[in-house]
């Protein structure tokens, strides 16, 4: 779907990037006009994610993601380009121009419609012949029909092709069924139903789309839960079961549990803010999704060893995003569902009120592994506790917990704090050395950072990057005869960016990430942003600088030995002036 550059530029102006990104990322001013925060696209402890209100771009110096506000919404909401445009247009109250059909969007819409039809079919099977087994299972688990309707629960009969035949009768193809994860390809051709003999839980995203399914076996057997594979409309790591309902809760917190049945049981008992991950440990993406709807998370995983380990992994992920974490342990039960049924809703509410902080839980769990009555046990616990405390970013919190641990073990708080400081210094040095090793590798320094793009001729690409930077800063230099021909570029991605920029320039338009958005892929948009953010170009004698760059385009690739020599003789700085820098 093609949108005009003028429309895209106006869309970006009506959706200031600092406001849009600020709805997802906590931003603080650090230097100049740029805002910084923790990158929402990869795990990090030191902010390397920058937003430039003046340039209306974002760029992560760690993972290389970048682009306009449209690219940001595509990444964070997992939308196609046209869908991200519509998302922002609705936000700004802008009408969307009539456009030609987009095949990618049509495919996504078709899969979502197929999922919705499948969910309706599964639901109807509860009342169809053969559905008695699922109804009996629901009775045993004390799931009411009202709750089943609220969640859209259904039944997948023990049949090889019942769903497949029903959907084919509605006009869907076998290929679409396989792509949606509803069917699997047989070894001898044909397809068969992916879900059979299971209670079905539709996975509904926050926009109300049925994106996937989770099926619970009715009796014994493995796997207990079978989840949809990742598809063009679904990623397990980016979705939470029940969030479509929990986002409407007035509780002021979200309860994070392990299983779908736990979510259903808690909602039925009045705890309408319960959600669960889908067959995975909590991911960074799922945690970031929670930040859109709450500042507080109640962690209530299963009481077994696996549940405790999962809680230990989840707490620091949630902490890093600034979420207040409290941990609830269900006594005398294996999971929240069992506890609710045995003790009732009020008893569970009391557990929530008495829940301990995530840090207290982690420290107590660490203490349980040592004999604190012995000197060796106390030393072991102090070392383990110091590791946990050292990971805290807030100095006040570090001091408070250091005093608490010191009192618990009968040592001075100064001794614990000193150990914590040593660990933080050691960790900071190790991270700095790792970055330095990575950034000073000659071949690495001339390649894009984590963009999925690699240059076959890095030395030529360095000059091509510099040309793009010059075109951004000094478009008046690019007169006929002075401007290099796009066909001379060695890197197809750089050529495409250059061509799109030239097109805007020759139309008399300013080159911006938003105006380029309809012409560049997501990776190219990130590469363009990386170039204009990190490639140094001199304002003096721009014509000569451009001529020098043109002379270097298409030059013989520098081999590894020459790159090493450049690095050791300091001549790599000259290469950096033409685009090969530590962030590029």
- What is the full per-residue pLDDT of the chain (584 aa) written as tens digits? 578 899 999 999 999 999 999 988 888 876 678 899 989 888 777 788 999 998 999 999 888 899 999 999 998 888 888 889 999 999 999 988 865 455 567 888 899 999 999 999 999 999 999 999 999 999 999 999 999 999 999 999 999 999 999 999 999 999 999 999 999 998 888 899 999 999 999 999 988 999 999 999 998 888 889 999 999 899 888 899 999 999 999 999 999 999 999 999 999 999 999 999 887 789 888 998 898 899 999 999 988 888 889 999 999 889 888 889 999 999 999 999 999 999 999 999 999 999 999 999 999 889 988 999 999 999 999 999 999 999 887 889 899 999 999 999 999 999 999 999 999 888 888 877 765 554 444 444 456 655 667 787 888 888 888 899 999 988 888 888 888 888 889 888 899 999 999 999 988 898 999 999 889 988 899 999 988 887 776 656 778 888 888 888 876 655 544 444 444 333 334 334 333 333 33
What's the confidence (pLDDT) of residue 111?
95
Q: Which CATH number fits domain 102-234: 1.10.540.10, 3.30.300.160, 3.90.980.10, 3.90.1150.10?
A: 3.90.980.10
What does the block give as tokens for 268?
């039925």
HEC sequence for 77-117: HCCCHHHHHHHHHHHHCCCCCCCCCCHHHHHHHHHHHHHHH
At 402 the pLDDT is 93
CA distances in angstroms from 201 to 69, 164, 198, listed in the order given: 34, 18, 9
Q: What is the edge-to-edge ordering of all strands in the sheet holding 154-156?
A: 154-156, 198-204, 210-217, 225-227
10 Å Cβ neighbour count for 554? 16
Nearest to 212 by CA among 134, 112, 286: 112
Which of 495, 491, 483 has the alpha carbon at shortest distance from 519?
495
With 0-12 CB in 10 A as exposed, 13-18 as middle and 19+ as buried, what is 209? buried
Distance, CA of 269 to CA of 340 (rounded, Å):
8
What is the third-level CATH fold of 369-440? Pheromone ER-1 (1.20.50)
The pLDDT value recorded for residue 441 is 46
Of how many residues is the chain composed?
A: 584
- Residue 458: helix, strand or coil by DSSP? helix
DSSP string across 200-243? EEEEE-TTS-EEEEEEEESSS-S-SEEEPPPBTTB-GGG--BTH
- Residue 46: the pLDDT is 79
Q: Which two tokens stand for residue 182?
A: 């509803």
| CATH 1.20.50 residue window(s) in the chain | 369-440
The per-residue pLDDT for 435 is 58
**What global pTM score does this model have?**
0.72
Six-digit token pair at 540? Answer: 């003096």
* Stretch(es) of the chain classified as CATH 3.90.580.10: 5-92
φ, ψ of residue 554 to 5 degrees: the values are 85, 5
For residues 195 and 189, the answer to whether their CB atoms sit within 8 Å is no
Say which residue the tokens 């071949």 belong to. Answer: 443
The pLDDT, as a whole number, for residue 428 is: 80
Residue 566 is predicted with a pLDDT of 40
377 φ, ψ to 5°? -65, -40
Lay out the sheet containing 324-327: strands in order across.
274-276, 254-257, 296-299, 324-327, 356-357
CB 264 within 8 A of CB 246: no
Quickly tell me which residue has 């009796």 as its tokens: 219
Confidence (pLDDT) at 30: 66
pLDDT value of position 26: 87
Between CA 84 and CA 36 the distance in angstroms is 23
Whether a cis peptide bond, with omega within 30° of 0, leads into 223 is yes
DSSP state of 412: -
- Continuous segment of H or E residues that includes residue 195: none
- DSSP assignment of 372-406: TTSHHHHHHHHHHHHHHHHT-S-HHHHHHHHHHHH
pLDDT at 573: 41
Buried b (16+ CB within 10 A) or exposed e, 317-354: bbbbbebebbbbbbeebebbbbbbeebeeeebeebeee
CATH, domain range 5-92: 3.90.580.10
Helix, strand, coil percentages for the chain (3-state, nearest 5): 50, 10, 35
Nearest to 56 by CA among 75, 70, 37, 42: 70
> pLDDT at position 433, please?
74
Check if the beta carbon of residue 24 is closer than 8 Å to that of residue 41: no
Place of tokens 């618990």: 408
The kind and range of the H/E element at 500 are helix 492-506
Radius of gyration of the chain measured on its C-alpha atoms? 28
Range list for CATH 1.10.860 in the chain: 442-577
Which residues of 149-304 form beta strands (DSSP E)?
154-156, 183-185, 191-193, 198-204, 210-217, 225-227, 254-257, 274-276, 296-299
Q: Specify the CATH architecture of the domain 442-577.
A: Orthogonal Bundle (1.10)
What pLDDT is recorded for position 78?
82
State the CB neighbour count (10 A cutoff) for residue 360: 14
Nearest to 336 by CA among 280, 271, 279, 281: 271
């Amino acid at each position: 779907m093609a949108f005009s550059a003028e429309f895209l530029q106006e869309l970006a102006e009506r959706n200031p990037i600092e406001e849009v990104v600020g709805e997802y990322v906590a931003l603080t001013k650090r230097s100049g006009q740029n805002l910084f925060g923790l990158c929402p696209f990869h795990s990090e402890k030191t902010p390397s994610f920058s937003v430039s209100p003046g340039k209306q771009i974002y760029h992560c110096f760690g993972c290389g993601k970048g682009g306009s506000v449209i690219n940001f919404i595509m990444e964070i909401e997992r939308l196609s380009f046209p869908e991200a445009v519509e998302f922002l247009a609705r936000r700004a109250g802008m009408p969307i121009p009539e456009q030609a059909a987009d095949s990618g969007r049509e495919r996504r819409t078709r899969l979502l419609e197929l999922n919705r039809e499948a969910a309706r079919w599964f639901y109807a099977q509860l009342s169809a012949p053969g559905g008695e087994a699922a109804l009996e299972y629901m009775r045993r688990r004390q799931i009411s029909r009202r709750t089943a309707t609220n969640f859209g629960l259904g039944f997948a009969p023990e049949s090889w092709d019942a769903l497949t035949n029903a959907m084919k009768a509605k006009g869907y193809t076998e290929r679409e069924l396989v792509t949606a994860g509803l069917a699997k390809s047989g070894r001898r051709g044909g397809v068969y139903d992916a879900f059979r003999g299971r209670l079905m839980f539709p996975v509904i995203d926050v926009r109300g789309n049925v994106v996937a399914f989770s099926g619970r076996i009715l009796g014994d057997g493995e796997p207990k839960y079978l989840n949809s594979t990742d598809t063009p409309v679904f990623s397990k790591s980016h979705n939470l079961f029940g969030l479509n309902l929990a986002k409407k809760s007035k509780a002021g917190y979200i309860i994070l549990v392990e299983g779908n049945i736990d979510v259903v049981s808690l909602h039925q008992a009045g705890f309408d803010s319960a959600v669960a991950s889908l067959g995975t440990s909590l991911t960074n993406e799922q945690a970031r999704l929670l930040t859109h709807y709450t500042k507080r998370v109640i962690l209530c995983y299963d009481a077994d060893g696996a549940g405790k380990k999962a809680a230990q992994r989840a707490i620091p992920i949630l902490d890093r995003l600034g979420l207040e974490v409290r941990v609830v342990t269900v006594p005398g039960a294996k999971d929240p569902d069992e506890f609710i049924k045995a003790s009732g809703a009020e008893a569970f509410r009391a557990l929530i009120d008495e829940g301990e902080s995530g840090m207290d839980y982690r420290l107590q769990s660490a203490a349980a592994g040592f004999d604190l009555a012995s000197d060796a046990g106390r030393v072991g616990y102090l070392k383990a506790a110091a590791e946990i405390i050292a990971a805290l970013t807030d100095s006040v919190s570090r001091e408070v917990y250091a005093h608490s641990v010191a009192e618990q073990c009968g040592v001075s708080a100064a001794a614990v704090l000193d150990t914590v400081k040593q660990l933080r210094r050691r960790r900071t040095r190790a991270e700095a050395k790792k970055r330095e090793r990575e950034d000073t590798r000659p071949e690495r320094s001339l390649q894009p950072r984590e963009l999925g793009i690699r240059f076959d001729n890095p030395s030529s690409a360095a000059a091509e990057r510099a040309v793009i930077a010059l075109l951004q800063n000094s478009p008046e230099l690019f007169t006929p005869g002075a401007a290099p021909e796009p066909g001379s570029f060695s890197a197809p991605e750089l050529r495409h960016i250059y061509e799109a920029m030239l097109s805007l320039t020759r139309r008399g338009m300013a080159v911006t990430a938003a105006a380029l958005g309809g012409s560049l892929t997501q990776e190219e948009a990130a590469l363009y942003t990386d170039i204009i953010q990190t490639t140094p170009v001199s304002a003096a004698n721009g014509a000569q600088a451009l001529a020098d760059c043109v002379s270097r385009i298409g030059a013989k690739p520098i081999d590894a030995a020459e790159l090493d020599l450049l690095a050791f003789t300091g001549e790599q700085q000259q290469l950096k002036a033409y685009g090969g820098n530590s962030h590029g």
